[in-house]
Amino acid sequence: MSGTAKNLQAFLDASPSAALVEVAEVKGSTPREKGAWMLVSPERIFGTIGGGQLEFMAISKAREMLADAGEGLLLDIPLGPEIGQCCGGRVEASIRLADEAVRSMLLDEAEAEDAKLPHVYVFGGGHVGHALASAFVLLPVRVIVVETRADALEDMPEGIEMRLTPVPEEMVRDAPSGSAFVVLTHDHALDFLIVAESLKRDDAAYVGMIGSKTKKATFRSWYLKTAGGSEADFARLVSPIGGDQVKDKRPAVIAALAAAEIMTARAGWPADAAEAFDGSMAGSLLPRAHSVVWVCDSRNQRALSRARE
């Protein structure tokens, strides 16, 4: 178990009493999509349905339900200026007890989602490699840092996978379709070998190499004349990583820019396996017994409950 599933399990273990809040329906502009969900316990939360007053109201009602051992609820919340939000849409959120069946299904779904996470291979565990690992650790990707030096893999963030190998380019050959490869080892010749191998993968979502314009030009000359590469494949190489608009070259800055660049490339990948969890299994379990409609005006906010057939 890793990633989201591991964090979810830790939350559930620490929260014997919890409620599942799910976005059941949306109309117009809303902060989260249908199926977004969160868990609420008396002391903590896991996940988000969009923040702001929408989430504040949902958390409050979920905790009331837990305290009163109440039945499942439906909240109908207009996202207008009266509640400090200007989305202009409307959200229907379901709330129900996270019993053993719901917990088991959420964990199964989280494990399935973790298994489908897109792979990002970071070749090189130097300053930028460590910074990239830290930048990616909270993002929905599976990060593998590949190194030829054991000491370079020390102090990696928790949750980052590490591979020690004398032939790092072999990791490229075995990577799943849609992977991203970012190359920043301690050796330019090794960088060139890994990048050349990565460019053979026409199913790669991203191939990037750290370095200057001179390094890129040197690679191009070697790649076309010696490695048998083509101009079309070379054109797929992103170098420098993170673009050239920001002149700050501190590792954390490069990592932030490169992480955004890679996530953008992944978002446009046609075979993206990291689809959003639709949450339909949670909503299907909800006993639709009551509805809470939030009515807001400029003077006050009040909740009206009515039976729903």
Of residues 4 and 209, more confidence is placed in 209
Give the per-residue pLDDT at 234: 98
b/e code 269-287 from CB counts within 10 Å (16+ = b): beeeebeebebebbbebbe
- Clarify whether residues 128 and 205 are in a common domain: yes
Chain mean pLDDT for the chain: 86
Give the per-residue pLDDT at 299: 33
- Clarify whether residues 75 and 128 are in a common domain: no
- Clarify whether residues 176 and 286 are in a common domain: no
Q: In the structure, what pLDDT confidence band is assigned to residue 160 with cuts at 50, 70 and 90?
A: very high
- Clarify whether residues 27 and 144 are in a common domain: no
- Clarify whether residues 238 and 181 are in a common domain: yes
- Clarify whether residues 131 and 255 are in a common domain: yes
Give the per-residue pLDDT at 54: 87
Q: Own/partner pairs for 143-146, CB < 8 Å, 24+ apart? A: 144/119, 144/120, 144/171, 146/121, 146/122, 146/171
Give the per-residue pLDDT at 271: 53
Measured CA to CA, the distance from residue 113 to residue 107 in angstroms comes to: 10
pLDDT in tens, 255-298: 999 999 999 999 887 754 334 333 333 333 433 334 444 434 33
Give the domain extent around 29. 3-113+276-307
3-state secondary structure of 274: coil
Give the per-residue pLDDT at 198: 98
- Clarify whether residues 258 and 180 are in a common domain: yes
Give the per-residue pLDDT at 70: 82
- Clarify whether residues 298 and 185 are in a common domain: no
Q: For the residues 181-197, what does the mean pLDDT come to?
A: 97
User: Considering its fold, how many domains does the chain have in total?
Assistant: 2
Measured CA to CA, the distance from residue 126 to residue 97 in angstroms comes to: 46
- Domain harbouring 156, CATH code: 3.40.50.720
User: Is residue 35 over pLDDT 80?
Assistant: yes
- Clarify whether residues 148 and 252 are in a common domain: yes
User: Is residue 309 over pLDDT 50?
Assistant: no
- Clarify whether residues 146 and 258 are in a common domain: yes
pLDDT in tens, 85-105: 666 788 899 999 999 999 999
- Clarify whether residues 288 and 152 are in a common domain: no
- Clarify whether residues 125 and 222 are in a common domain: yes
